[in-house]
Amino acid sequence: MIKKLSIGFVAISLAFASAATTYKVTFFQPSVINGTELKPGEYKVEVNNDKAVLWQGKSSTEVPVKVESTEQKNRATAVRYSDGSKVQEIRIGGTKTKLVF
């Protein structure tokens, strides 16, 4: 009985460990990620390992991402751009998480 219980616990733990993390971000201007232009608006960002899926309604875009930590908590969610419209990174407010594209 204990063996079955511990195997079940391990299976549940692995399922949660591989689950995607979801964030919300708002782009206030047309933005480009990995060559894909995104319209201004609110997006749901699902991060799973080295991939991010950005959802706006039923439309989605999958891009490679690197998740890094910042030294201090980010006060607010902020998008950093290079070349005017190319998204370089997104810092998630209230966390030490930064998504690098």
pLDDT (tens digit per residue) in 25-70: 999 999 999 999 999 999 999 999 999 999 999 999 999 999 999 9
Q: Are 65 and 44 in contact (CB under 8 A)?
A: no
> Which amino acid makes up residue 91?
R
Which is more confidently placed, 15 or 44?
A: 44
Which is more confidently placed, 44 or 13?
A: 44
Query: Taking Cα atoms as reference points, which of 63, 72, 83 lies closest to residue 25?
Result: 63
| Coil vs helix vs strand at 13 | helix
d(CA 28, CA 39): 9
d(CA 43, CA 47): 13
pLDDT (tens digit per residue) in 78-91: 999 999 999 999 99
d(CA 51, CA 59): 16
Give the model's pLDDT for residue 19: 74
Give the model's pLDDT for residue 23: 97
Predicted TM-score (pTM) of the model is 0.79
